Chain A
């Protein structure tokens, strides 16, 4: 054990924790009683029905294998592959998120450059920011009249704030020396914005984008439970209505994996734009 690298030791420990956890979970699920052992009374009161219980991990793994080996099948509105459901969710998240970035980053730039704009817009931002994105849902459904677009709007409204605030903060915090370098080299405002201010503020901006994508992925599940139809959030809720807890657990895990992948992507982007002063 001593001779192994830190990473190897951590990996071994992770595997042990996983196996141990799964084992405890598997053993703590009581076995289903078979019909033959029941008394007549129990049989009459419905005790022979398979009781809905938390499924053991072995069942979840089997389910995962089934689902992942055919992720894109489409057998009607209530029976689609996990890949299709996740695809819908990612499409909504990315659309709403891209619209938010399109507005938040230029607007954040302006706010960061102008102390007047910062002070003028600050009260609105402070009031709008803490609103739970789902609170917008009824209003969005009424105004937009389309559940699909409303879900995208909810993603838009929840991911705009961290990007807006971080962009403004990052731009306002660009060191005046660097701006002076741009000035003494006679760079125009646009050239200064792209060659000096943007790279200088990029780490802060990307941090905001990373926070936003995390929030957007949290919110899409809840939003899809409300609007229904498609998406991983709808899938979870639908399987709950079917009392198929194996599928519920499987989809919970998938939500985690996709969220992790989205976060990792922005983590890589963050590393690319980082610099040491």
Chain B
């Protein structure tokens, strides 16, 4: 059976400006299950953002395709909400209007009061209440702006939520706070999330599964690392977990060394399926099976 979101033999080539072609990635194939939080991790320039744009429907792939919930992805859709790195709020609208803008697009049949009520509820979920919601984005801090953007995306209940380096432009402290908030909102939903980042700790904290991308050109999704740390997670507690450093070291090794070694060559196979990887240092003897918190289902 196909996963909820199936990326099949996705290939992207651009003209290189010298008459030739530059292959960003070729035959990338992977899946995301419903309700799963998948993070894609890789160096800049490896084509993460290109994959994101294709999933959002803002760009067309050279070859292959994306199937979500049995339907081929063609063009942008309200079923796929996007949080961009630079927030992409409309600066001439107030914070509240930026969210009602999205809600009204999703539910054209709703009354104005319904739309506003729904928007206020989701702004409240990211901690924006009272006077603040009538301010313009330019009067908010970067962290608050990204909260608005997250509220706008969650308020629309998209089938798939795409996060394009959402915390990339924030300082470390703010980033931590908003990561916690994102986990809190996401925890209450069955929202499927696909996120891009180049921050390893952020990926471990948030993800059910991390896809590792090699460097371009001919980048590929080389591994799919299951995060064997039970939820709910918090930034201070996960570092104590025996699997944390094992997973972290694996990721650091990959980004630091193997992503380069594996780069730049064609694999010769038809489909570049990521190799599943499970790192679990929790010995079952110390901890009986029944007491272990359940892990989420993982693809492959």
The CA of A63 and the CA of B77, in the complex, are separated in Å by: 69
Knowing A180-B58, A276-B136, A276-B138, say if A185 contacts B91 (CB, 8 Å).
no
Residue A200 at the B interface, CB < 8 A? yes
Residue B56 at the A interface, CB < 8 A? yes
* Residues of the B chain whose Cβ atoms lie less than 8 Å from the Cβ of A275: 91-92, 136, 138
Residue A69 at the B interface, CB < 8 A? no
Knowing A184-B56, A184-B58, A276-B136, say if A199 contacts B92 (CB, 8 Å).
yes
Q: How far is the CB of A192 from chain B (nearest CB, A)?
A: 11
Q: How far is the CB of B79 from chain A (nearest CB, A)?
A: 9
- B-contact 0/1 string along A41-82, CB 8 Å cutoff: 000000000000000000000000000000000000000000
* Residues of the B chain whose Cβ atoms lie less than 8 Å from the Cβ of A202: 92
Knowing A186-B76, A186-B105, A187-B105, say if A199 contacts B58 (CB, 8 Å).
no
* Residues of the A chain whose Cβ atoms lie less than 8 Å from the Cβ of B136: 275-276
Residue A240 at the B interface, CB < 8 A? no
Residue B182 at the A interface, CB < 8 A? no
The CA of A245 and the CA of B41, in the complex, are separated in Å by: 80
Residue A25 at the B interface, CB < 8 A? no
Q: How far is the CB of B168 from chain A (nearest CB, A)?
A: 14
- B-contact 0/1 string along A263-277, CB 8 Å cutoff: 000000000010111
In the complex, what residue of chain A is closest to B158 when comparing beta carbons?
A184
* Residues of the A chain whose Cβ atoms lie less than 8 Å from the Cβ of B75: 183
In the complex, what residue of chain B is closest to A198 when comparing beta carbons?
B92
Residue B23 at the A interface, CB < 8 A? no
Residue A137 at the B interface, CB < 8 A? no
- A-contact 0/1 string along B73-112, CB 8 Å cutoff: 0011110111010101011110000000110011000000
* Residues of the B chain whose Cβ atoms lie less than 8 Å from the Cβ of A184: 56-58, 76-78, 80-82
Residue A91 at the B interface, CB < 8 A? no
Q: Interface residue count for B (Cβ, 8 Å)?
A: 23
Residue A37 at the B interface, CB < 8 A? no
Count of chain A to chain B residue pairs whose CB atoms are closer than 8 Å in the complex = 54
Residue A177 at the B interface, CB < 8 A? yes
Contact at A181–B92, with CB atoms within 8 Å? Answer: no
Residue A149 at the B interface, CB < 8 A? no
Knowing A183-B58, A184-B76, A185-B102, say if A277 contacts B90 (CB, 8 Å).
no
* Residues of the B chain whose Cβ atoms lie less than 8 Å from the Cβ of A186: 76-78, 105
Contact at A180–B90, with CB atoms within 8 Å? Answer: no
Contact at A181–B91, with CB atoms within 8 Å? Answer: no
- B-contact 0/1 string along A177-219, CB 8 Å cutoff: 1101101111100000001100110100000000000000000
* Residues of the A chain whose Cβ atoms lie less than 8 Å from the Cβ of B106: 185
In the complex, what residue of chain B is closest to A177 when comparing beta carbons?
B88
Contact at B80–A195, with CB atoms within 8 Å? Answer: no
Decide if the interface of chain A is mainly helix, strand, loop or mixed: helix
| Max chain B C-beta neighbours (<10 A), residue from A181, A276, A277 | A181
In the complex, what residue of chain A is closest to B138 when comparing beta carbons?
A276
* Residues of the A chain whose Cβ atoms lie less than 8 Å from the Cβ of B78: 184-186
Contact at B92–A200, with CB atoms within 8 Å? Answer: yes
Contact at B90–A196, with CB atoms within 8 Å? Answer: yes
* Residues of the B chain whose Cβ atoms lie less than 8 Å from the Cβ of A196: 90
Q: How far is the CB of B166 from chain A (nearest CB, A)?
A: 14
Contact at A178–B88, with CB atoms within 8 Å? Answer: yes
Contact at B76–A199, with CB atoms within 8 Å? Answer: no
| Max chain A C-beta neighbours (<10 A), residue from B77, B82, B90 | B90
The CA of A84 and the CA of B88, in the complex, are separated in Å by: 51
In the complex, what residue of chain A is closest to B89 when comparing beta carbons?
A181
Contact at A277–B91, with CB atoms within 8 Å? Answer: yes
Contact at B84–A180, with CB atoms within 8 Å? Answer: yes
* Residues of the B chain whose Cβ atoms lie less than 8 Å from the Cβ of A183: 57-58, 75-76
Knowing A185-B78, A186-B105, A187-B105, say if A276 contacts B91 (CB, 8 Å).
yes
* Residues of the A chain whose Cβ atoms lie less than 8 Å from the Cβ of B92: 199-200, 202, 273, 275
- B-contact 0/1 string along A144-181, CB 8 Å cutoff: 00000000000000000000000000000000011011
In the complex, what residue of chain B is closest to A187 when comparing beta carbons?
B105
In the complex, what residue of chain A is closest to B86 when comparing beta carbons?
A177
Contact at B88–A180, with CB atoms within 8 Å? Answer: yes
Q: How far is the CB of B194 from chain A (nearest CB, A)?
A: 14
The CA of A196 and the CA of B98, in the complex, are separated in Å by: 11
Knowing A185-B101, A199-B92, A200-B92, say if A177 contacts B84 (CB, 8 Å).
yes
Contact at A178–B58, with CB atoms within 8 Å? Answer: no
When A and B form their complex, which 5 residue pairs have the shortest distance between CB atoms, in order from nearest?
Answer: A276-B138, A185-B105, A275-B92, A183-B76, A177-B88
Starting from the known contacts A184-B57, A184-B78, 13 additional A-B residue pairs (CB-CB under 8 Å) come to A177-B86, A178-B90, A180-B58, A183-B58, A183-B76, A199-B90, A200-B90, A200-B92, A202-B92, A275-B91, A275-B136, A275-B138, A277-B91
A-B contact pairs, 12 of them (CB 8 A): A178-B88, A180-B56, A180-B58, A180-B76, A180-B84, A180-B88, A184-B78, A184-B81, A187-B105, A195-B101, A199-B92, A277-B91
Residues of B within 8 A of A (CB): 56-58, 75-78, 80-82, 84, 86, 88, 90-93, 101-102, 105-106, 136, 138
